[in-house]
Every structure is written in C-alpha cells, then in structure tokens.
Amino acid sequence: MKSSDVAKKFDVSIDALRYWEKAGMIPKVPRNSRGYRDYTQNEIEWIDFVTCMRSSGVGISTLVTYYQLFKDGAETKQQRQQLLEGQLVDMAQRIKDMQKAYARLEEKLTHYDDHVEGVFTKQEVKK
C-alpha cells in the first residue's frame, strides 16, 4: 500500500508515517522496485496500534520503547505487558480528569445565565 493511501486511511500525514518509522515506533517499511515505501499488513497493523495509542495520549517515547521490546522477542513479554498496564492506569486517570472537567463545564453551561448575571455590567464589558 502506498504512503498516501496509508496516510489517508489513518488520517495522518505522510510526514508522521515517516517520522514514526525513523523514530522506531513502527517497523521499517519495505520499498518497491522504484524505491517507494510499500506498506504491508504488518506495518499497517502497527500504524493502527500507534494511531490509537497516540490519540489516547500515549507518548512517543513509550511507543518507541514498546516497539523495541517487541523486536527484542518473547522474553520481553512481561515488560511489554507492564508498560501497557501502566499506560492503562494513566489513561484511566486522564479519563477521570476529563469526566470531571466535562461535568464542571456542563454544570456551568446549564446555569450559565445564573453565573454570569450581575458579574459584568455593560460598562465593564466595553472596557
């Protein structure tokens, strides 16, 4: 699959795909006879994983570490699992924080007129 097709499929830039490869977040992408990247199912599955993790707030260094551990083989299974478990804990906290912020914003909007009423006079708003 061509870079442009992969970029479109995952809604990322071609530059991001190149960066992820260079940084070691995904496998090296094989080249076709003309020297262009030709993504296989293996790279596409890694990109799917990376895009999901990035959209969930997982950092680049964590993904680089995970991929390196994966390349190091089966003996790193426990380390990889611990890394993912740690990310799950972090993600749960981010979700909790977002839910709290969401509830506060929802409450503010529900009672917006009550909160704003009398806080500003027309004269203060003009300043």
Per-residue confidence band for 112, with pLDDT thresholds at 50, 70 and 90:
confident
- Please give the model's pTM, rounded to 2 decimal places: 0.81
Residue 122 inside a domain? The answer is no
Q: How far apart are CA 77 and CA 65, in angstroms?
A: 13
For residue 66, what are its two tokens?
Answer: 């995970």
Q: What is the spatial distance between Cα 60 and Cα 20, in angstroms, rounded to a whole number?
A: 9
Looking at the domain assignment, is residue 127 inside a domain?
A: no
Q: Which CATH number does the domain housing residue 86 bear? A: 1.10.1660.10
Q: What is the DSSP letter of 31?
A: B
Q: Assess if residue 106 is contained within a domain.
A: yes
Give the domain extent around 49: 3-116
**pLDDT for 2-23, tens place per residue?**
999 999 999 999 999 999 999 9
Q: Give the pLDDT score at 117.
A: 65
With respect to residue 124, please indicate whether it lies within any of the assigned structural domains.
no
| 126 within some domain | no
Question: What percent of the chain clears pLDDT 90, i.e. is strictly above it?
Answer: 84
pLDDT recorded at residue 125? 55
- Considering its fold, how many domains does the chain have in total? 1
Which pLDDT score, from 0 to 100, does residue 114 have?
75
Which residues, at least 6 apart from 47, have a Cβ–Cβ distance to it below 8 Å? 6, 10, 12, 17, 20, 26, 39
